């Protein structure tokens, strides 16, 4: 954040998206910016983060880079302090940052402890770190919303079903998303009395750097479910798992 940025106002809605310098996170930021939010581009790389924010500003959106590495507790704490000092609250948090790693031929028996630890550090512990650090600011919003970007690979119902993807091994990535889903449910119980809503979503098989751009969905399409959950009305769901459309399931609700 720089000194020449627009001043805060009490009416501003502020959204933070982690891992927002590219892919699905970038398109979530673009969509929320188009809805009038000030969007904070959470990214590890100052160069790539600022480039992403600058490109959105060129589209007329209020986008600002926020230095954030979900695996660095000190950096997370500093980012939360910065947002609190400038805005005093956070309306939307989208936990989008994630990694998918495996060893050998992606067999679970080949998975090393080092790889599993690295995946969980980002996809699970990083979400705990960021969410709990920013939760005091989210509680101060009129209608705080938290969206966890999960995956159908983290759905036990999906991975034990009768379809082509059920044959794949979820490995550390799938296990991390299952853990993220449980955390979503757990937070939802605590936050239910406060009006803050937290939900998980799957973007579907999307072409991003995470999967070598092999997916058939476009990132801008995959972002829709997250944006919808970020903009939930007061009577919207809390503690659910959703998709956009019906790519794998008959409804927008994804089985756990």
Strand partners, 144: none
Whether pLDDT at 147 is above 90? yes
Question: Against a cut of 0.95, is the pTM above it?
Answer: no
Q: What is the pLDDT of residues 32-79, one digit of tens each?
A: 999 999 999 999 999 999 999 999 999 999 999 999 999 999 999 999
Q: Which whole number is the average pLDDT over 80-103?
A: 97
pLDDT (0 to 100) of residue 5:
42
Whether pLDDT at 24 is above 70? yes
**Mean pLDDT across the chain:** 91
- Please tell me the distance from the alpha carbon of residue 35 to that of residue 39, in angstroms, as a whole number: 10
pLDDT (0 to 100) of residue 73:
98
Whether pLDDT at 221 is above 90? no
Q: Which whole number is the average pLDDT over 165-189?
A: 95
Q: Which residue has the tokens 């009416």?
A: 11
Whether pLDDT at 182 is above 80? yes
Q: What is the pLDDT of residues 2-13, one digit of tens each?
A: 333 443 333 589
Q: Which whole number is the average pLDDT over 90-107?
A: 96
Tokens standing for residue 217 = 């969905």
pLDDT (0 to 100) of residue 95:
98
Q: Which whole number is the average pLDDT over 112-136?
A: 98
∠ Cα 246 248 250 (to 5°): 50
pLDDT band at 251 (very low <50, low <70, confident <90, very high): confident
Burial class (CB in 10 A: 0-12, 13-18, 19+), 11: exposed
Handedness of CA 83, 88, 97, 24 (dihedral sign): negative
pLDDT (0 to 100) of residue 3:
36
Which residue from 210, 201, 166, 147 is spatially nearest to 15, judged by alpha carbons?
Answer: 147
pLDDT (0 to 100) of residue 36:
96
Task: Give the up-direction half-sphere exposure of residue 209: CA atoms within 13 A in the CB hemisphere.
Answer: 11
pLDDT band at 220 (very low <50, low <70, confident <90, very high): confident
Handedness of CA 235, 141, 135, 40 (dihedral sign): positive
Contact assessment for residue 14 and residue 40, using Cβ atoms and an 8 Å cutoff: yes
Q: What phi-psi label fits residue 23: left (phi over 0), alpha (psi between -120 and 50 degrees) or beta?
A: left
Helices and strands, counts by H and E, the chain: 9, 7
Q: State the catalytic residues.
A: 173
pLDDT (0 to 100) of residue 244:
85
Whether pLDDT at 130 is above 50? yes
């Amino acid at each position: 954040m720089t000194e020449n940025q627009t001043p805060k106002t009490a009416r501003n809605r502020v959204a933070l998206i982690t891992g927002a310098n590219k892919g699905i996170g970038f398109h979530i930021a673009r969509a929320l910016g188009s809805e009038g939010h000030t969007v904070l581009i959470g990214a590890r790389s100052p160069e790539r983060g600022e480039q992403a924010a600058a490109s959105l500003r060129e589209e007329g959106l209020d986008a600002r880079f926020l230095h954030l590495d979900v695996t660095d507790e000190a950096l997370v704490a500093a980012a939360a302090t910065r947002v609190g000092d400038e805005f005093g609250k956070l309306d939307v948090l989208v936990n989008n940052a994630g990694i998918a790693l495996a060893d050998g031929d992606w067999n679970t028996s080949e998975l090393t402890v080092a790889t599993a630890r690295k995946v969980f550090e980002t996809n699970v512990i990083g979400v705990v770190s960021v969410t709990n650090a920013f939760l005091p600011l989210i509680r101060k919003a009129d209608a705080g919303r938290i969206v966890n970007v999960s995956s159908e690979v983290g759905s036990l119902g999906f991975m034990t079903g009768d379809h082509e993807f059920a044959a794949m091994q979820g490995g550390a990535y799938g296990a991390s998303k299952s853990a993220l889903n449980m955390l979503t449910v757990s937070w939802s119980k605590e936050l239910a009395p406060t009006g803050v809503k937290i939900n998980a979503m799957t973007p579907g098989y999307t072409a991003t750097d995470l999967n070598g751009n092999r997916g058939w969905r476009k990132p801008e399409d995959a972002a829709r479910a997250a944006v919808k959950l970020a903009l939930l009305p007061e009577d919207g769901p809390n503690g659910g798992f959703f998709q956009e459309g019906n790519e794998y399931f008959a409804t927008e609700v994804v089985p756990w």
